[in-house]
Amino acid sequence: MHSLAQEIQGFSKGRLRKQCTRVTTVTGRRLLEGGEGQVEELEESGCGFVQDESLDLQVGVVRPFLLLASQDAAHDIDTLQRYKVSHVLNVAYGVANLFPDQMVYKTLQILDLPDTQITSYLQESSSFIDQAQQQDGVVLVHCNAGVSRCSSIVIGYLMLREGLSFDDAYSQTKRARPSIRPNPGFYQQLQNYKPQRTTNHL
């Protein structure tokens, strides 16, 4: 009868089943680590990215009644209350409106693609901004990152309602939120935009 010690001695390392561990690195690479230090890269479709966990709560104040920001700010009730936001114009795609009992929302699902006709949304979005202003409210215009779509809508609003040139509207919006960058298609469309100026009085 074998003693336990003999059994352990006879249990060679070779008989151990090889363990493999899947590892995802911070850069999104998928690796398979074998028991003897072998590392094999797994082919993945799509590209790896590091998720940015920091919230972007920076709010650009373009006019006392007109703000722009990312979805982070739009989803942060403290930020909304600090800026006395009453109306939210959501021009992101697939982003929920979290506070329907406390805010007036309008959603325009706009894709951030250069060939999206951003100028076709300006009348409707400007009417909503007017509504907020007439009710002595404050409207926050937001998209996902607060970079392209919402800035394009705000620039278009300033051109349509205040008769600003593209350059003036762009620089005032950029001063309020330095990270804005309309995609090349939106930039071109707004540069060529010749609005029939309408006042914001009904």
Catalytic residue ranges: 143
**Are the beta carbons of 150 and 179 closer than 8 angstroms?**
no
Structure tokens at 138: 């404050």
Residue in this structure with the two tokens 């920076």, named with its chain if needed? 58
Nearest to 124 by CA among 198, 63, 191, 65: 198
The per-residue DSSP string of 31-100 comes to EEE-TTS-EEEPP-SS-------S-----EEEETTEEEE-HHHHT-HHHHHHTT--EEEE-SSS-----T
| Main-chain phi, psi angles of 98, to 5 degrees | -85, -20
